[in-house]
Amino acid sequence: MTKSLTITRPDDWHLHLRDGAMLKAVLPETARHFGRAIIMPNLVPPVVTGAQAAAYKDRIMAALPAGMSFDPLMVLYLTEDTDPADVAAAHASGLVTSVKLYPAGATTNSASGVQDFDKVRPVLEKMAEIGMPLCLHGEVTDHEIDIFDREAVFIDRILDPIRKATPGLRVVMEHITTKDGVDYVKANDADLGATITTHHLIINRNHILVGGIKPHYYCLPVAKREEHRLALREAATSGDARFFLGTDSAPHVDPAKESGCGCAGCFTATNTMALLAHVFEEDDALDKLEGFASKNGPAFYRLPENKGTLTLTKQDAPVTFPDKIHSDDGPVTVFDPGYPVHWTVT
C-alpha cells in the first residue's frame, strides 16, 4: 500500500557543513530536501566575525551544485572577545541569523568557546535588545560532572542564570537529549525553543554500547537512557511549537570515527526526512511532522516559511539508503537506524 505526505519544504535548524572537500560532498545531501539551514560555525579556525561569516557563506554558495536552491543561515561563534557592535551589524545587514555559544571544550572544535560567562554579557545584552537568537550547546564541561549529567547540570548552573540575567534574550537549546531539557523548555515561555535531532529520536545509549561499541552512534551530547529518548519523541511529535528539527548532521570521515579516540557526530543529512516520517508514523503523529520540520523553526526565528513542498512516500519494500557518501577527504557513513524504513522522499 502506498501512502504519501506532502509538507512545506523543511529547514534544518542545526547543521554542520564543514569546508573544502567535505562541504562539497555533504551540501547536496542537505540542499536536496531542505530550503535553509542554520550553519554551525565550528570550523578551524571558527567563524567569529561578520567578515568571516560572509566569506564562509560565499564558499557554501560556490559549492552548491547548479540547479539546486539553498539558503545558508549564517551563525557567529561566540568568544570572550566577540564585539557586540560587529554582531549587531552582521545581524542588521541580514548576513547573520544567530550567535552560537559553546562552553569551551564541550565538543568538536570548541576550544575557542566561552569559559567566563560574564565576559560575554555585553554581547548577550545587545542580542536581547535587537531580538537576535542565541544558539546554545547546553553541556557543562567540568571534569567532575558525569557526561550523562552534563545537560541537566548546564540548565541549572548556566542556562537558567543567563536567561534570568538577560530578560528578553531569545534562546535555542540545541540538540536536547534529556527529559530535563524538554521539561525546562515546557516550563518557560516562547523566548525559549529547542532543537531535536533525528538520531536522538531513534537511539538511546544502549545502541552505542551494547554488543560492541558503535562509533557511528557516538555524538555530543551523547544519547541518554530510554526514558529520555521517549521524552524527546513526545516533545517532537506533540505539536508544541517550541520544539523543532535541528539534525546536527555532523560529518567526519570514517577513519576519524572508527578510531581509538573517535570523533563525535552522526551524519544524517541523507536520510533524515525519511527517518522522521518513520518515527512520526510510529507515534501516530504524521500530521505533526510538518510543524516540527517546516513551521515551528521559521516561527521561532521570525522568518517566512519556505515556498516549496516536499513529498514523502511510503512503499511496500524497504528503502535502500547509501551506506556512505564519498568526499575527496574520505568516506562518511550515513546514519543507520538499525531497522527497515519504508519512507522515501519522492
Angstrom CA distances, 318 to 199, 202, 216, 270, 279, stand at 19, 17, 22, 16, 15
Taking the least distance from each CB to ligand NCD, the nearer of 248 and 290 is: 248
Q: Are 337 and 319 in contact (CB under 8 A)?
A: no
> Binding to ligand NCD by residue 269, rule CB under 6 A?
no
4-23: contacts with Zn ion (CB under 5 A): none
Which among Zn ion, ligand NCD, none contacts residue 100 (Cβ within 5 to 8 A by kind)?
none
217-256: contacts with ligand NCD (CB under 6 A): 219-220, 248, 250
Question: Phi, psi (5° rounding) for residue 331?
Answer: -75, 150
Q: Which of 8, 10, 16, 88 binds ligand NCD (CB under 6 A)?
A: 16
> Binding to Zn ion by residue 139, rule CB under 5 A?
no
For the purposes of burial, counting CB atoms within 10 Å of the CB of 138, is it exposed (0-12), middle (13-18) or buried (19 or more)? buried
Provide the residue count of the chain: 346
Give every CB contact of residue 157 below 8 A, 6+ residues apart in sequence.
Answer: 140
Annotated catalytic residue, options 180, 248, 328, 336: 248
Taking the least distance from each CB to Zn ion, the nearer of 79 and 344 is: 79
User: Is 248 assigned a catalytic role?
Assistant: yes
- Distance from C-alpha of 79 to C-alpha of 135, rounded to nearest angstrom: 13
Taking the least distance from each CB to ligand NCD, the nearer of 240 and 248 is: 248
Taking the least distance from each CB to Zn ion, the nearer of 240 and 248 is: 248
Min dist. Cβ of residue 12 to ligand NCD (A): 13
Min dist. Cβ of residue 82 to ligand NCD (A): 19
From 279, 297, 290, 294, select the one nearest 201 (Cα to Cα).
Answer: 279
Residue recorded with cell 568571516: 52
Q: Which of 103, 133, 265, 297 binds ligand NCD (CB under 6 A)?
A: 265
Min dist. Cβ of residue 141 to Zn ion (A): 15
Taking the least distance from each CB to Zn ion, the nearer of 248 and 290 is: 248
- Distance from C-alpha of 229 to C-alpha of 20, rounded to nearest angstrom: 34
Min dist. Cβ of residue 220 to Zn ion (A): 8
Helix axes of 84-92 and 50-63: crossing angle, nearest 10 degrees: 40
> Binding to ligand NCD by residue 333, rule CB under 6 A?
no
| Closest residue by beta carbon to Zn ion | 248
* Region binding Zn ion by CB under 5 A among candidate stretches 48-56, 141-149, 183-191, 248-256: 248-256
Farthest-apart Cα atoms in the chain, separation: 58
Beta strand extents in the chain (DSSP E only): 3-8, 12-15, 36-39, 71-77, 96-101, 134-136, 171-173, 192-196, 243-245, 309-314, 324-327, 330-333, 343-345
Helix (H, G, I), strand (E, B) or coil at 180: helix
Taking the least distance from each CB to ligand NCD, the nearer of 113 and 291 is: 113
> Binding to Zn ion by residue 248, rule CB under 5 A?
yes
> Binding to ligand NCD by residue 264, rule CB under 6 A?
yes
**Residue type present at position 10:** P
What mask, x for binding ligand NCD by CB under 6 A, covers residues 151 to 180?
------------------------------
**Residue type present at position 242:** R
Q: Which residues are catalytic?
A: 248
**Residues in the site for Zn ion, rule: CB under 5 A?**
248
**Residues in the site for ligand NCD, rule: CB under 6 A?**
16, 42, 107-108, 137, 219-220, 248, 250, 264-265
